[in-house]
Chains A and B, each alone.
Chain A
Amino acid sequence: MTTAVIRVVGGRVVERHENVAAEALDELLARAPDEFRIDLRNTPLSPTPQPVLPTVQPNGYPSIEELTDAVLAFADGDRAALNTIRARRRATPTGPNA
């Protein structure tokens, strides 16, 4: 005769034990008396909380496509695209030219 046992911490099912023999049940329940309980409903584990990932800010450098277009426009006498890139870089002071 075996049974299943789950461990509930903070409302989340964090452990599940199967094939727990009767003679092993007391020791298992004694590990954390308020957290282990017999499970008769095949309760699955609760989903793992996802980490809060750091937000990475764009550094303001132009892409190769944007830079190519700006240089070609500058060759034709148009400085607007280059000025746009310069302004964005000043607004985001990251990288070696900050």
Chain B
Amino acid sequence: MPTSSALLGLDQPPVLPQHVARVTADGRPTRYLLDWEQFTYQFQASALQSLDTRIETVESTSGDAFASGEIYFAAKATPAGATAAYGLFLTAGDAFAGFEVLALSVGGSAINMTADKLMFSDSGTATAVFDYGVSTPGVFTFNVPVEIRNSDIGVAQVSNSVVATGSVGAGSDLTTAALTVRAGARVDVLVTVSETSATIYLASFSASFISRGFTVSYNSTPIGSMYSMDTIVASNFLGGSSYAFYKAVTPSAEVFTVSGLPAGSYTFSVNNGAPAAVTMSIKATETK
């Protein structure tokens, strides 16, 4: 709506010149004064209407360029309930920004903002507290510490892990399901060997100890090895000076860390270096 021309379409009536008579000899207003009052009334009516329209909507067009702004208040009350709303909508070419506040007496209210960027600054410190699409397109960036209570963090929103447990035969691998990580991820890999009773054997006398290695890898790339050794788990008196000793692989645990992984899916494995089946676990957790 061309509000400017409407407001200015009716010229403001000038003040009557000094020589123009305001009243007749009998004290009544002259026709000049009545006409001036009529013009003034019409101008005020037009101005008020135009001003009211300007509060709601403004538009401007120049060639192909177009801009508009609209503000509205709305309130409605019925026996069924009441609604109040306030809105602000701005358009310039293809760019659009909007703000809307809505309240319903039956329950529910909303504040909706529409824009391709958002920023909030601390007026006291001039700190850009947070922004969306300003620092990095498409990214919500906080420039101040953010505190979220632990109990308010959703399940599996922070920790990203896979766990595998198995009774693994000698020389075989225990491999996790694939874990999808972000670029530059750090993954902590916890490896354990627990139930080793299947490795019990009759030990011969020796001064040396027997070491066992459990190779840990991701996507078949070795990370390192967890080492354990055999220890005596039982003995038997055979008579005289003879004894039998039984050994088994010692349960063990170790944590390995992989840093700087490219984004993608990875499986994590541990190889059973014991001479028989043992129970092993492997847990890979993306921590960064």
Contact = CB atoms under 8 A, between A and B. Distances in A.
* A and B interact physically: yes
Given A7-B166, A15-B165, A20-B162, A48 B179 contact: no
A2 B161 CA distance: 10
A82 interface: no
Interface string B194-208: 010111111000000
Interface in B31-87: none
Contact of B238 (A45, A48, A54, A59): A59
Nearest to A60: B239
A51 B177 contact: no
Interface string A1-27: 010010100001011111111011101
B216 interface: no
Given A20-B162, A28-B178, A59-B239, A51 B167 contact: no
A17 B167 contact: no
Interface residues of B, number: 36
Interface string B176-215: 1111100000000000000101111110000000000000
B279 A50 contact: no
Contact of A59 (B156, B199, B242): B242
B178 A27 contact: yes
B270 interface: no
Nearest to A5: B177
B242 A23 contact: no
Contacts of B93: none
A16 B241 CA distance: 47
A54 to B, nearest CB: 5
Contacts of B278: 48
B81 to A, nearest CB: 38
Contacts of A5: 177
Contacts of B118: none
B240 A59 contact: yes
A21 B200 contact: no
B246 interface: yes
7 contacts: A15-B167, A17-B176, A51-B197, A56-B202, A57-B238, A58-B238, A62-B240
